[in-house]
Structure 1
Amino acid sequence: MASPTVSIDNAKCVLVIGATSGIGRALALAIAELPSRPTVIAAGRRQDRLDELKAKKLETVQIDVAADLTTLKKTVDSLVAQYPDLDAVMFASGIQYQQDFTKEVDLTQVAREINVNYLAVVSLISMFLPHFLKLSADGRPSFIMPVSSGLGLMPSNYVPNYSASKAALTSFAISLRKQLAATNVKILEIIPPLVESELHDEQGTTGHLSNFWMPLDEYTERTMGGLRKGDTRIASGTAEKVLKRYQDAGLCDIYPIPV
């Protein structure tokens, strides 16, 4: 008999970091509606948005992923203490800036993009892992779900640093999955295409990009399907096409360096 699929349906308590808008908000609400009815903790910076989600019966916590490491560690320790059944974390927060390196570039924006989109995610994963490894030792599955981007596989010259930050996250997810292969900690990388989102409002590109992006409702439905199947890489639209090219070329695997 085949082993039962281990998927988001097995999660008891899901933390969604970056749940106050866009993909994070939509997936947090969809996960809360799963038949298994997990506890969903919506995390983000904007308290007014968190209040809206609390009114929808989600747990909430205010988190700024750009905070210093000491603050982040205190937040993680507090969450694990308050929610001992926490067994899934989605990292959906992200920022994006357009940059033209033929002109003067705001290096503060470059650093902030790398910090929020990559370094903060790696730091938080390392802080949650001891708890997840304890669950693993008890035979319980847990889930780390970084939200990368199709631009991490095929970059855009309009957002070069954003693309690079997401490429780093994809590379890290591949390596981490290999390191945790003998445990019950599952790495489910979510790889969106261009999706309807407030991410583009600050740059004034929403009007143009709305002609090309995938509607958020459609994207949410497709991604939830992948999460419920337990897919290790969940891509759709153009990101799915690019991912297939990478997989066919063997570029989503670990380089075979002997230890």
Structure 2
Amino acid sequence: MPSINDSRCVLVTGATAGIGRALAYAISDLPSKPRVIAAGRRQDRLDELASKMDTIQIDFETDKETIKKFVDDTIAKYPDLDTLVLSAGVQYETWFQKPETIDLDKLLSELNVNYTSILTTITYFLPHLLKLAADGRPCFICPVTAGLGITPGAWVANYSASKAALHSLCYSLHAHLQGTNVHIMEIIPPLVESELHDAEDTTKMLTNKWMPLEEYIPVTMDGLTKGDFQISSGVSLAGLNRFETGKEEVVMKGLEVRKSW
């Protein structure tokens, strides 16, 4: 089974904090020693990573033209790029019983960072990955979704919906790319130690509830090195097993039925 052990050059977005940062370090430490490119918006954090890996500054709260330039420039500089780990994300609480408190600009930004920009990034990188794959190189797209994309957290309704959209997209990409040598590995974390929660000042209350990164990353790297389609743990794995067992086969069959029309 192809896995991240086969990767030669890996782009990790959202690499300046949390899961993205920890995965960038863990991937760079693989025995296969792939080249790692850390992408994120905070230059000071990128400077910290620069002694270990390449870095690119980009904020994914942007438009498709900016992402297209980022993709084109990245491919031109790193023609061996064969793996995407897409970890950029933001999270805001939303209380619909108090609609006057809802900032729609923030929600649309959250949707863009967590879903639309990732969809755009994947779409622009796919021709490059498909070409490499056709030449015999295994390629990988690894979006970071969330257990809340399976069972939503009502207090982070828009975040949950954005991750549900990305989770659904992973099933469809997995089906579409069968036989191409471009592989989808969806990373589905539970509540994990992260600065994601700083935006709502909920980090302190969550520190005794989340899975520490030192516990989470080895489990996730195990799935990446096995080439698993879905890589989950904790309560997210429980939700995946409870609500989505057999869904992959249904999606695959549905696509085959549509092709026969």
Scaled by the length of structure 2, what TM-score is found? 0.95
C-alpha separation between the residues in 1 aligned to 2:7 and 2:144? 18
Choose from 170, 174, 177 the match for 2:174. Answer: 177
| Residue aligned with 2:142, SS | strand
Q: What is the rounded CA distance, in whole Å, between the counterparts of 1:148 and 1:118 in structure 2?
A: 9
Instruction: Confirm or deny that 1:25 pairs with 2:50.
Output: no
Instruction: Find the residue that maps to 2:92 and give its secondary structure.
Output: coil
Query: Structure 1 residues 167-176 or 103-112, which shifts more?
Result: 103-112
SS at match of 2:56: strand
Secondary structure at the residue paired with 2:121? helix
The aligned residue for residue 162 of structure 2 is 165
Determine whether 1:60 maps to 2:58.
no
Partner Cα separation in structure 1 for residue 41 and residue 199 of structure 2: 16
Partner of 1:116: 113
Partner of 1:222: 219
Deviation, 1:100, is 0.2
Deviation, structure 1 residue 68? 1.7
2:46 matched residue in structure 1:
50
For residues 184 and 247 of structure 1, the distance between their equivalents in structure 2, rounded to whole angstroms, comes to 25
- For structure 1, the residue ranges without an aligned partner over 5 or more in a row are none
CA distance in 2, matches of 1:190, 1:144: 10
Letter paired with 2:158: N
Which among 29, 32, 38 is matched to residue 34 of structure 2? Answer: 38
> Structure 1: which 4+ aligned runs deviate by more than 3 Å?
none
Out of 78, 98, 102, which is 2:97 matched to? 102
RMSD between aligned residues: 1.1
Partner of 1:202, secondary structure, is helix
Aligned-pair distance for 1:246?
2.5
Q: Can you give the 5+ residue segments of structure 2 that lack an aligned partner in the other structure?
A: none
Select which of 80, 87, 90 maps to 2:85: 90
Secondary structure of the corresponding residue to residue 254 of structure 2 = coil
Alignment of 1:65-84 (within 5 A): 65-84=60-79
More helix by proportion, 1 or 2?
A: 2
Counterpart check, 1:237 vs 2:240? no
